[in-house]
Amino acid sequence: MQDRRGRLEFYIAAAGAVIVDQLSKFIVKSILPKSETITIIPDVFDITSYYNKGAAFGLMEGSRELLVLISIVAIFAIVKLRYQRSKSRLLAVSLGLILGGALGNLIDRLTINAVYDFLDFHRWPVFNLADVAVTIGGALLVIYWIKTPREI
C-alpha cells in the first residue's frame, strides 16, 4: 500500500508541477508582450517576459539539441531512481517535483526553442515555476538523503 501511495504522490507532484508551470507561462505570455516588464515590488521583484535559449543562468546558449538530450536523460534517470527506491513518500514527492520541472522546461524547449522565464528578483537571474519545482524537489531530496540511513 505504501508503494502505491508513493507512486501516486510521485505522479501528482510531477503532473502538478507541469500544469502549474505551463499554466503560469501561458497566463504571463498572454498579458505581457515579449521583453516587457511589470513592476510588482520596485527594485525587488518584477514579472519580466524573457526567453532563455540556454540552461540555468543562460549557460550553453544556442545548444538546444544538447539541452533537450540532457533533459531526456535526466527524466529517465529520475523515473529509474523512483522505481529503485519506491518505499519513501518523501523521495516520491521530491523526484516528482524534479521530474515535473524538467518536463515543464522540456516542453518549452521543444515548442518555442527556448525556456520561458518571468520571475525576476533583481539580484537573481529570471526564472519560472518549473525551476522552483526543481529547486524544491532538490532540497527535499537532500533532506531524504540526510534522514535515510545507509548501509556501509
How is residue 88 written as a grid cell?
519513501
Rounded CA separation 112/128 (Å): 15
Which of 21, 108, 117, 120 does the annotation list as catalytic?
117
Concerning whether 108 is annotated as a catalytic residue, the answer is no
pLDDT tens for the chain, 152 residues long, are 445 556 889 999 999 999 999 999 999 999 998 889 999 999 999 999 999 886 665 556 666 677 788 889 989 888 887 777 667 889 999 999 999 999 999 999 999 999 999 999 998 999 999 999 999 999 999 999 898 877 54
How is residue 41 written as a grid cell?
515590488
Concerning whether 21 is annotated as a catalytic residue, the answer is no
CA within 13 Å, CB half, 62:
0
Instruction: List the chain domain ranges.
Output: 2-33+63-116+127-147
Question: Which H or E run includes 8?
Answer: helix 2-31
Confidence (pTM): 0.87
Which of 46, 108, 120, 131 does the annotation list as catalytic?
131
Q: Which amino acid is it at 5?
A: R
